[in-house]
């Protein structure tokens, strides 16, 4: 009897949920993206059999595919959703993010990509070990793959939670037997929609399984296709929206800056096609939004009660530190560097980098346009927070034209949802592969069980993928109140203070010793990690919902920030002091331990710098694997 009642309760509940309003165009586009990703993963799982297939995709990928794949992996939820949200929220200052994401690649190309490729180490830990002949250093270097990786997965997970919450906002669990799933508002009342963590868990599960079964060979193909999905999904809706609402410049002109004299603007600007909507109180004012040194960079100084003029030097410092973090951080991202080795030779690697810069540069012109249009036509997002705030402007904006053009609005919103899926899925799977390889290969294969067979390692890879995926979902569930783009910036800052100094100094200075490199990398990286964590904890403590209660012990830090705005800026953007700190320590400690410079340093430097045509690498490997083995 009991089971019969239960079954009826389930059927009634499902029936109610089924009758809710869901836009099936949006759901359909998203479902197709997910299905294609999974199908490609499984299909390539059949063809990738050997261990090296699994890890570096067999080293034979053409320039076009590889450039698309690198770009696909690089354009994360931060690029697709976060930048638009941040431009909408903070205005001009947020533009530094897309610019530095794209241009950081140049720095990588100029100083690091070529030498690292010639050296022939697959990953940063590989390089660390080979450059200093030190397995111990490898173990230290591996830690940061995980630190940076987890920091980078949190915003991807927020992207996932936000997108699913948007797609299923019409679902209503209230009054059904699933009402424990109904999300709570700030006052603890149940609301329609699905909970944020539910989306995080679903996406985490799907990708984890995909990576555990497919490995990286599948990922190369999937990443390349996903770049083009993302490019299509960000550009097509923008062209339509600009056609409806007027051009990029015209929409920017709606925001008056303090420098604009009103009569002059009226004369120069043509009659507008659409009037903007009124901004709520929570939104920043026009003149602060469109001008440099606005709400993003002056937040700490404003909280301390400084005037706009007094706050300006602080904002300049914030901007410089942000630039250093993003540009140097790009050069130290573990999951990006590994793809340089999938090029057949150095010339192909350089061509690939050029194409990557073009592909991602073109992409990054579009997200800020969403932010500008969102400010003018979706101002109600300013009033909401978490997964319902400006971070979803990319998804929500195309729906606006539904009133005029009917179904086209739904289709365009479906396309941007598909792009968002492609964004967080591709970056998350790339990170998962990096972190899982670090665990399966380095921690298990080298430290715990050096004698394990290839089959055992493959099995371990799968288990590690599941473990890392699980932790990512847990972390992702916590960070709903934080901005996607801000969190990615923190991952970059940690990379900038740890891997970037290691790579840069090891490639260009022969006097580096293992002890110097390790001291600098650990101190710089851990300092940046610590400051980022403290800032996040204090921000989460301000949240009005469940996370605010969870992190309430850290609320006191905010009083400290108010009294010390400079320290707040240096903690929020640590790169400006942590990168020089790491490099300085590297130099000092290396000088102190001068005697431990590797004996064959000249040969190592030759391998790093001499043209590949001279064949020095083969000679070097021969020496290293000489009679002793």
Binds another protein by CB under 8 A, chosen from 59, 282, 591, 594: 59
Q: Which ranges constitute the DSSP H helices of 366-453? A: 367-377, 393-396, 402-405, 407-437
Q: Which of residues 406-445 bind another protein (CB under 8 A)?
A: 437, 441
> How far is the C-alpha of 507 from the C-alpha of 510, rounded, in Å?
8
Q: Which of residues 324-363 bind another protein (CB under 8 A)?
A: 327, 346-347, 350-351, 353-354, 357-358, 361-362
Tokens representing residue 405 in the block: 């053009």
Distance separating alpha carbons of residues 37 and 225, to the nearest angstrom:
9
Q: Which of 242, 291, 443, 542 binds another protein (CB under 8 A)?
A: 291
Residue in this structure with the two tokens 């009083």, named with its chain if needed: 559
Q: Which residue has the tokens 């990054």?
A: 364
**Residue with structure tokens 């890879």?**
461
Under the binding rule (CB under 8 A), the answer on residue 102 touching another protein is: yes
Is residue 4 packed enough to be buried (19+ CB in 10 Å), middle (13-18) or exposed (0-12)? exposed
The answer to whether 404 and 245 are in contact (CB under 8 A) is no
Q: How far apart are CA 552 and CA 555, in angstroms?
A: 5
- d(CA 328, CA 332) in angstroms, rounded, equals 7
In terms of CB distance, is 91 or 545 closer to another protein? 91
Determine which residue in the list 13, 62, 191, 319 makes contact with another protein, applying CB under 8 A. Answer: 319
Residue from 55, 152, 382, 421 that binds another protein (CB under 8 A)?
55
Which residue's CB is nearer to another protein, number 260 or number 310?
Answer: 260
From the list 302-310, 364-372, 537-545, 564-572, the region that binds another protein by CB under 8 A is: 364-372
Which is closer to another protein, CB of 391 or CB of 442?
442
Count residues contacting another protein (CB under 8 A)? 81
The answer to whether 368 contacts another protein (rule: CB under 8 A) is yes
CA dihedral 262, 268, 271, 273 (to 10 degrees): -100
Looking at 16, 28, 65, 111, which residue binds another protein (CB under 8 A)? 111
Candidates 539, 557, 558; CA nearest to 547 is 539
> Interface with another protein includes 19 (CB under 8 A)?
no
Q: How far is the CB of 34 from another protein (least distance, A)?
A: 29
Residues 506-565 that bind another protein (CB under 8 A): 508
Residues 223-262 contacting another protein, CB under 8 A: 247-253, 257-260
Using the minimum distance from each CB to another protein, give the nearer residue, 44 or 437: 437
- Does the protein bind another protein through residue 96 (CB under 8 A)? yes
Phi (first) and psi of residue 184, to 5 degrees:
-100, 145
Show the tokens assigned to 548.
Answer: 């605010």
Phi, psi angles (nearest 5°) of residue 272: -90, 145
Q: At what angle do helices 124-132 and 135-167 cross, to 10 degrees?
A: 170
Backbone angles phi, psi at 304, to 5 degrees: -80, 0
Output the six-digit token pair for 144: 């940061």
Q: What character string, x for contact with another protein (CB under 8 A) and - otherwise, covers 24-53?
A: ---------------------------xx-
* Piece in contact with another protein (CB under 8 A), picked from 298-306, 311-319, 416-424, 547-555: 311-319
Q: How many CB atoms lie within 10 A of CB 192?
A: 15
Q: What residues contact residue 241 under an 8 Å CB cut-off, 6+ apart?
A: 369, 373, 397, 398, 400, 401, 412
Where do we find the tokens 């799907």?
Answer: 206
Binding string, residues 153-172; x marks residues near another protein by CB under 8 A: --------------------
Nearer to another protein, 82 or 545 (CB): 82
| Contact assessment for residue 291 and residue 459, using Cβ atoms and an 8 Å cutoff | no
Q: Please tell me the distance from the alpha carbon of residue 186 to that of residue 345, in angstroms, as a whole number.
A: 56
Nearest approach, Cβ of residue 496 and another protein (Å): 14
576 binding another protein? (CB under 8 A): no
Which residue lies nearer to another protein by CB, 450 or 553? 450
When binding is defined by CB under 8 A, the residue of 123, 387, 519, 538 that contacts another protein is 123
Helix, strand, coil shares of the chain, percent, nearest 5, are: 80, 0, 20
Min. distance of Cβ 619 from another protein in angstroms?
Answer: 5
Question: Shortest approach of another protein to residue 95 CB, angstroms?
Answer: 5
Residue 120 binds another protein, judged by CB under 8 A: yes
- Minimal distance in Å, beta carbon 111 to another protein? 6
Does position 139 interact with another protein (CB under 8 A)? The reply is: no
Q: Which of 65, 320, 463, 530 binds another protein (CB under 8 A)?
A: 320
- When the beta carbons of 114 and 329 are compared against another protein, the nearer one is 114
* Nearest approach, Cβ of residue 63 and another protein (Å): 12
Binding to another protein in span 599-628, by CB under 8 A:
602-603, 605-606, 609-614, 616, 618-619, 621-622, 624-625
Strand, helix or coil for residue 120 = coil
Between 254 and 422, CB nearer to another protein: 254
504: nearest Cα among 349, 332, 322: 332
Smallest distance, another protein to C-beta of residue 528, A? 20
| Nearer to another protein among residue 187 and residue 613 (C-beta) | 613
Q: How far is the CB of 127 from another protein (least distance, A)?
A: 11
């Amino acid at each position: 009897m009991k089971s019969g009642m239960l079954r009826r309760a389930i059927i009634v509940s499902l029936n109610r949920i089924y009758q809710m309003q869901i836009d099936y165009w949006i759901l359909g586009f998203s479902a197709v993206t997910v299905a294609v990703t999974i199908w490609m993963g499984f299909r390539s799982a059949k063809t990738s059999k050997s261990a090296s297939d699994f890890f570096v995709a067999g080293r034979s990928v053409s320039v076009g595919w590889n450039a698309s794949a690198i770009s696909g992996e690089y354009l994360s939820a931060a690029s697709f959703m976060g930048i638009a949200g941040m431009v909408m929220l903070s205005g001009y200052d947020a533009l530094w993010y897309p610019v530095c994401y794209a241009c950081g690649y140049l720095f990588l190309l100029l100083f690091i990509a070529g030498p690292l490729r010639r050296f022939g180490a697959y990953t940063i830990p590989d390089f660390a070990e080979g450059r200093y002949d030190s397995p111990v250093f490898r173990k230290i270097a591996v830690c940061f793959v995980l630190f940076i990786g987890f920091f980078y997965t949190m915003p991807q997970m927020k992207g996932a939670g936000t997108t699913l919450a948007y797609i299923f906002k019409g679902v209503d669990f209230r009054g059904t037997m699933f009402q424990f799933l109904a999300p709570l508002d700030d006052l603890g009342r149940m609301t329609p929609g699905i909970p944020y963590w539910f989306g995080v868990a679903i996406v985490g599960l799907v990708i984890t399984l995909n990576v555990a079964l497919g490995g990286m060979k599948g990922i190369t193909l999937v990443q390349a296709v996903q770049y083009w999905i993302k490019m299509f999904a960000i550009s097509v809706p923008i062209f339509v929206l600009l056609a409806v609402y007027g051009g990029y410049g015209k929409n920017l002109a709606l925001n008056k800056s303090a420098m604009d004299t009103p009569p002059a603007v009226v004369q120069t600007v043509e009659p507008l096609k659409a009037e903007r909507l009124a901004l709520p109180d929570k939104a920043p004012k026009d003149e602060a939004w469109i001008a440099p040194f606005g709400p993003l960079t002056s937040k700490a100084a404003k909280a301390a009660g400084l005037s706009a003029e007094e706050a300006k030097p602080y904002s300049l410092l914030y901007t410089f530190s942000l630039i250093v973090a993003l540009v140097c951080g790009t050069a130290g991202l573990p999951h990006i560097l590994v793809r340089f080795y999938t090029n057949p030779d150095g010339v192909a690697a350089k061509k690939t980098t050029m194409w990557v810069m073009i592909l991602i540069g073109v992409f990054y012109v579009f997200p800020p346009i969403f932010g500008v249009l969102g400010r003018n036509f979706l101002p109600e997002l300013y009033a909401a927070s978490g997964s319902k705030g400006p971070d979803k402007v990319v998804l929500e904006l195309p729906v606006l034209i539904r009133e005029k053009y009917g179904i086209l609005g739904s289709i365009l919103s479906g396309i941007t949802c598909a792009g968002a899926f492609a964004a967080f899925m591709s970056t998350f799977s790339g990170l998962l592969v990096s972190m899982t390889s670090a665990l399966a290969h380095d921690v298990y294969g080298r430290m715990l069980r050096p004698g394990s067979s290839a089959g055992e390692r493959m099995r371990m890879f799968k288990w590690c993928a599941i473990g890392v995926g699980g932790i990512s979902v847990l972390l992702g569930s916590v960070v709903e109140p934080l901005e996607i783009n801000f969190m990615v910036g923190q991952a970059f800052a940690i990379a900038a203070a740890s891997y970037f100094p290691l790579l840069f100094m090891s490639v260009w200075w022969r006097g580096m010793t293992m002890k110097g490199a390790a001291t600098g990398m650990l101190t710089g990286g851990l300092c940046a990690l610590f400051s980022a964590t403290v800032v996040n904890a204090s921000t989460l403590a301000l949240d009005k919902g469940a996370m605010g209660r969870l992190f309430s012990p850290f609320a006191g830090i905010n009083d400290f920030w108010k009294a010390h705005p400079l320290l707040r800026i240096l903690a929020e953007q640590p790169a400006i002091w942590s990168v020089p700190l790491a490099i300085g320590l590297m130099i000092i400690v290396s000088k102190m331990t001068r005697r431990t410079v590797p004996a064959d340093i000249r040969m190592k430097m030759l391998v790093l710098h001499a043209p590949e045509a001279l064949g020095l690498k083969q000679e070097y490997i021969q020496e290293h694997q000489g009679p002793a083995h």
